[in-house]
Chains A and B, each alone.
Chain A
Amino acid sequence: MVSVSRKEIMPLVYLTTERTDKFKTGCISITLCLQLSRKNAARNALLPKVLLRGCGRYPDMQSLSAALDELYGARLEPIVRKKGEVHCIGLYADFVDDAFVSEGERVLERVAELMGQVLLCPATRAGLFNSDYVKSERENLADRIRARINDKQQYAVSRLKELMCAGEPYSVDTLGEKPEDALKLSPITLTKHYREIIETARIEVFYCGSAETARVEIAIKNALEALPRANGELEQPFTDVKMSTAEARYFSESLDVTQGKLAVGFRLGEIMKKPDLAALLVFNALYGGSVTSKLFLNVRERLSLCYYASSQIERHKGLMIVSSGIEVEKYDEALAEILRQLDLIRQGEISDDELENSRKSIMTDLRSVMDSQIQLENFYLGQAIDSLTYAPDVLAELVRDITKEDILAVADSIRLDSVYFLKNAEGSR
């Protein structure tokens, strides 16, 4: 039995619950939805990390960990993501269902309360965040910003986004741009920022598990009792979708890599005026998002041009990114083939089998979302950001009806914007 409900439980605080008995755990997320900006990115990213160093009741990591261990190893993790140009920061917890603990113990309420404590009653000194915590977490954040280079595939994609969307907030990484953005944050700056956003941010709360909605609502309201809400000055973040592109731009950079990383960025274009999510998903599965896609079967399997080649859609911002790992000297050939496969779709080269496989692949993905709490959480946050309310299985039904014409409409609207190539330095292999 599955039932979903959504409700504004406090000013601009929304609770989405999915009640189901099938999982052995419950999960809760509390997310602050903020406007992504160069100025605030690192501040936002730093906050959950500092909050998780300790709260009034459990003032250090060891006592907080002990509290979580006592709750049968409940996990409490920071989450920092972006959905388009909405910077989503917060806490995610999961914990064993009451069915597996001692008779009468109520884990949900205790976890919710702990989350409220961590979010709203941080460990402070003279009203400011503990400066040791801020200093050590800003170092860690700076390291994570530096460490983006470790995963070359992901690095190439984020460099492409930075260059392609330069001047748009979307170009700002979820962690902040440069290590200095993190290192310059002081306990004062961070505390002021925290006080401001905790009053004004739109907050999304998600629960999935066996508890009744009414019980969850009470638990969350109690946990957030101390949440301050500014009168009438609450902030609704949004994403600016740029639909047109000028001439395509080409970038390349060198690092010590043995395999070249190619990232190709497209704007979804005019279709974003009235985006059809189902059509975008099926198009992506057909072009490069599945193992029966044109990119997988041609660039990888038929021509052996790469080890991987796949596409992904950023539905909130209206982008499509193709990512591929290739031999450096195969650059021209691989790029040409990636673009040619898109042209073939535009020319209507879509077999009935391909279309059906793509629809099935997306329908399978969507129904599998319903089997995973963490995927459900992410799905409903995406829906909330786009002011959509339907469940994954409803979207799966919409996918069933997607036609070749719907796919052609997406393909016709897409424009190449930028190409980024990460290659090895000259002289080395």
Chain B
Amino acid sequence: MQLHEYKNIKEQLWFDTLGNGLSVYVVPKKGYFKSTAVFATKYGGSDRRFKLAGKWHNTPAGVAHFLEHKMFDKKDVSVMQQFSANGASPNAFTSSGMTAYYFESIENFEESLKILLEFVTEPYFTEESVAKEQGIIAQEIRMIEDNPQFVVYRNMMQALYAENPIRDSVAGSVESIAEITAQTLYYCHEAFYNPSNMVLCAAGDLDPERIRDIAEKLLPKERKETAERDYGQGESPLPLEERKEAKMEVAVPLFMAGAKLEGGLTGTERQRQELIGDFAMSLFLGKSSPLYSRLYSQGLINSSFYGGTSYFPDGAVSVFGGESRDPDAVFSAVTEEAARFAADGPDKDYFERLKKSVLGEEIRGLNSMYGICTRQLTGHFEGFDPLRSIEILDEITIKDVVSFIAENLEPQRLAISLVRPFN
């Protein structure tokens, strides 16, 4: 295995690529009781249309998430109990771009790692168990739809995008998951759960070589074809609709506004753009900004106000939002301030001070092994090294952030989504 040292943050990273194409990363963490391993496939809610063996397939919204649930089902053993017997607690998540299975354990790490690798590799679905899961996931979907935060986000994405599958919930809808059969699941598992489309990342007080050897021994040896994906036509930089409103049982109106950024970036450029996007939004409207202070004093925002930048397959957004009695007043204030910011730029001392602050934030993130692993997965799938974030941050200039705000927060680029109370 190869070793990378990051002296500035006092971290190490071991990595290797196996013959079957699987990448293995290990971050040693001395003194921690807990270890964690994440086994993930580059297959998420957005991967609905794909080409395999020369043929295009269209699948309903929610298959990746459905598959995540069903992978825990086995013919005659309970995966949960296998993990529990080793003192490990397993879990999984599906995002728009990946499905990840992980466990945290205090002891018997290697036993749990074997369970993890095996259960994710060996599918077992029946029509009956699929039908039963449809009931469980329908409940989960209803629960998500009762959540105003989810609704405000989903509506904003639908206002922004014309075609990108990010418009739909990762979990799909009660109707779309009704179309899923055992055969759909087997096919998608076959298409995306092969080692060359996957990554294993572990962190803890661990022996990197042993982890690599276990993965090599247990997983299939051959390299397979990776499916080609289609996320729809290129999107216009302008939103599809300017505004979406919904009414729900909430106390104070919620809103989220955002702009589409250029999608499809990979490698260090993608990493740099994401860091610039996040830093620019913090500088422009984060807790230390003059804008935040002014809106807060005017009672237009409260501590739920936030801004940031996030990437997903073939797209990215910069957003801001939170609770407000008058979301439209916040929206206008933000766009006016963006024009001023674009013209005058930020105070230099403030810019440097916020860099110090973001440095602290990055270092704090290294306390979480789960956080380190999930960032490593994203970095791997998108071709960048997340442990280099601090170095890249250091190189960001005032010009970078000013251009970012000037280009992306123009009023015509933004869509706003609101959730208002019934009365």
CB neighbours (8 Å) of A100 from chain B are 9-10, 363
Contacts A95-B360, A370-B33; is A146 near B288 (CB within 8 Å)?
no
Given the complex of chains A and B, what is the CA–CA distance between A22 and B31 in angstroms? 6
B367 close to A292 (CB less than 8 A): no
**Residue of chain A at shortest CB distance from B31:** A22
Q: What is the 8 Å Cβ interface bit string for chain B, positions 99-129, against chain A (1 contact, 0 not)?
A: 0000011100000000000000000000000
B34 close to A61 (CB less than 8 A): no
A73 close to B142 (CB less than 8 A): no
A99 close to B10 (CB less than 8 A): yes
Given the complex of chains A and B, what is the CA–CA distance between A136 and B323 in angstroms? 14
Q: What is the 8 Å Cβ interface bit string for chain A, positions 4-19, against chain B (1 contact, 0 not)?
A: 0000000000000000
Given the complex of chains A and B, what is the CA–CA distance between A297 and B323 in angstroms? 38
Closest-CB distance, A297 to chain B (whole angstroms): 8
Answer whether residue B30 sits at the interface, using C-beta atoms and an 8 A cutoff.
Answer: yes
Contact with A325, one of B139, B251, B299 (Cβ below 8 angstroms): B139
B84 close to A73 (CB less than 8 A): no
A70 close to B353 (CB less than 8 A): yes
CB neighbours (8 Å) of A25 from chain B are 363-364, 367
Given the complex of chains A and B, what is the CA–CA distance between A370 and B104 in angstroms? 14
Please choose the segment from A84-92, A233-241, A252-260 that sits at the chain B interface, where 4 or more of its residues have CB less than 8 A away. Answer: A252-260
B356 close to A73 (CB less than 8 A): yes
CB neighbours (8 Å) of A307 from chain B are 136, 139-140, 142-143
Closest-CB distance, A393 to chain B (whole angstroms): 8
B135 close to A304 (CB less than 8 A): yes
A60 close to B293 (CB less than 8 A): yes
CB neighbours (8 Å) of A69 from chain B are 288, 353-354, 356-357
Answer whether residue A222 sits at the interface, using C-beta atoms and an 8 A cutoff.
Answer: no
B357 close to A72 (CB less than 8 A): yes
Task: Among A60, A136, A306, A307, find the residue whose CB has the most chain B CB atoms closer than 10 A.
Answer: A307
CB neighbours (8 Å) of B80 from chain A are 291-292, 297
Task: Among A151, A364, A372, find the residue whose CB has the most chain B CB atoms closer than 10 A.
Answer: A364
Binding site for A on B (CB under 8 A): 9-10, 29-34, 80-81, 84-90, 104-106, 132, 135-136, 139-140, 142-143, 145-149, 248-252, 287-288, 290, 292-293, 296-297, 299, 302-303, 323, 350, 353-354, 356-361, 363-364, 366-367, 369, 422
Closest-CB distance, A375 to chain B (whole angstroms): 11
Q: What is the 8 Å Cβ interface bit string for chain A, positions 347-376, against chain B (1 contact, 0 not)?
A: 000000100110011011001101111000
A65 close to B287 (CB less than 8 A): yes
A291 close to B84 (CB less than 8 A): yes
Number of residues in A with C-beta < 8 Å to the partner? 69
Given the complex of chains A and B, what is the CA–CA distance between A136 and B300 in angstroms? 10
A258 close to B146 (CB less than 8 A): yes
CB neighbours (8 Å) of B10 from chain A are 24, 99-100
A61 close to B31 (CB less than 8 A): no
Given the complex of chains A and B, what is the CA–CA distance between A66 and B297 in angstroms? 17
Given A25-B364, A363-B87, 13 new contacts (CB under 8 A): A61-B297, A72-B359, A73-B358, A96-B364, A100-B10, A136-B296, A150-B249, A259-B139, A292-B80, A356-B85, A357-B81, A364-B104, A367-B34
Given the complex of chains A and B, what is the CA–CA distance between A51 and B32 in angstroms? 35
Given the complex of chains A and B, what is the CA–CA distance between A22 and B34 in angstroms? 12
Contacts A256-B249, A306-B139, A325-B139; is A364 near B363 (CB within 8 Å)?
no
CB neighbours (8 Å) of B31 from chain A are 1, 20-22
Given the complex of chains A and B, what is the CA–CA distance between A424 and B84 in angstroms? 37
**Residue of chain A at shortest CB distance from B137:** A307
Closest-CB distance, A172 to chain B (whole angstroms): 19
A140 close to B33 (CB less than 8 A): no
**Residue of chain A at shortest CB distance from B254:** A150
Contact with B357, one of A68, A143, A259 (Cβ below 8 angstroms): A68
Closest-CB distance, A402 to chain B (whole angstroms): 15
B249 close to A149 (CB less than 8 A): yes
B293 close to A368 (CB less than 8 A): no
CB neighbours (8 Å) of A96 from chain B are 359-360, 363-364
Closest-CB distance, A427 to chain B (whole angstroms): 15
Closest-CB distance, A125 to chain B (whole angstroms): 15
B251 close to A147 (CB less than 8 A): yes
Contact with A143, one of B9, B251, B360, B366 (Cβ below 8 angstroms): B251
Answer whether residue A173 sits at the interface, using C-beta atoms and an 8 A cutoff.
Answer: no
CB neighbours (8 Å) of B29 from chain A are 22
Q: For window 125-160 of chain A, which residues contact chain B by CB distance below 8 Å?
A: 132, 136, 139-140, 143-144, 146-153
Given the complex of chains A and B, what is the CA–CA distance between A250 and B30 in angstroms? 52
Q: For window 292-335 of chain A, which residues contact chain B by CB distance below 8 Å?
A: 292, 297, 300, 304, 306-308, 325-327
Contact with A73, one of B86, B105, B357 (Cβ below 8 angstroms): B357
B296 close to A61 (CB less than 8 A): yes
Contact with A292, one of B30, B81, B350 (Cβ below 8 angstroms): B81
A259 close to B146 (CB less than 8 A): yes
B85 close to A357 (CB less than 8 A): yes
Could you name 16 residue pairs across A and B whose Cβ atoms are closer than 8 Å? A22-B30, A24-B367, A68-B288, A72-B356, A72-B357, A72-B360, A136-B296, A140-B302, A143-B252, A147-B323, A290-B84, A292-B81, A304-B135, A307-B140, A325-B143, A364-B104
B136 close to A259 (CB less than 8 A): no
Closest A-B pairs by Cβ, 9 of them: A146-B251, A73-B360, A73-B357, A22-B31, A72-B360, A307-B139, A65-B288, A357-B84, A69-B357
B249 close to A255 (CB less than 8 A): yes
Answer whether residue A204 sits at the interface, using C-beta atoms and an 8 A cutoff.
Answer: no
Closest-CB distance, A394 to chain B (whole angstroms): 14
Closest-CB distance, A65 to chain B (whole angstroms): 4
CB neighbours (8 Å) of B85 from chain A are 353, 356-357, 360
